[in-house]
């Protein structure tokens, strides 16, 4: 008795399952990296002693208004500390759906997305070159969990 097997459909199901696992890995990785960037930088609020005018924008800062001084910045070997949230929020991955992964050749890109503040992503990359932890450190730290996600579908 002849057996008919549709290999194309089986291959497509396997590729879809692999794409779903890649998306799960990307979501897990971005969450772990975002959590690492979410350490707050301690600051103190300081009252202005005199009126000041910004040379760049011409904005006037009145006497008595407040500004923040960050007293404990991150050092080389640590993740940059949370100040404005722009760096933490710029971590992204693409494509974000199964069909997009299949169209991209079964690949997902993870990095810092360009924002209105282009300098944020460039600043985080520059900090990585100066010895601060970044995407590569997160990859090294999460690699066993990513392998587990691909193999079993679960991180823990």
Residue (of 89, 87, 69, 93) closest to 128 by Cα position:
87
Give per-residue pLDDT as tens, 1-33: 666 777 888 889 999 999 999 999 999 999 999
How many Å apart are CA 104 and CA 28, to the nearest integer?
20
Hunting for tokens 């910045």 — which residue is that? Answer: 73
Give per-residue pLDDT as tens, 41-50: 777 788 777 7
> Would you say 53 and 62 are in contact if contact means Cβ atoms under 8 Å apart?
no
How many Å apart are CA 6 and CA 18, to the nearest integer?
19
All residues at 6 or more sequence positions from 114 whose CB lies less than 8 Å from its CB, including other chains: 121
Give per-residue pLDDT as tens, 117-156: 556 666 777 788 888 998 999 999 999 999 999 888 777 6
């Amino acid at each position: 008795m002849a057996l008919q097997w549709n290999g194309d459909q089986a291959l497509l199901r396997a590729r879809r399952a692999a794409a779903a696992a890649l998306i799960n890995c990307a979501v897990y990785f971005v969450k772990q990296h975002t959590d690492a960037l979410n350490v707050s930088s301690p600051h103190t609020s300081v009252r202005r002693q005199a009126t000041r005018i910004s040379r760049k924008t011409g904005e006037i800062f009145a006497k008595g208004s407040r500004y923040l001084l960050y007293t404990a910045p991150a050092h080389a070997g640590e993740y940059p500390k949370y100040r404005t949230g722009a760096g933490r929020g710029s971590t992204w991955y693409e494509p974000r759906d199964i069909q997009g992964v299949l169209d991209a050749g079964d690949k997902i890109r993870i990095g810092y997305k360009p924002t209105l503040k282009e300098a944020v992503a460039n600043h985080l990359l520059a900090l990585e070159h100066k010895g601060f932890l970044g995407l590569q450190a997160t990859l090294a730290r999460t690699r066993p969990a990513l392998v587990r996600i691909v193999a079993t579908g679960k991180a823990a």
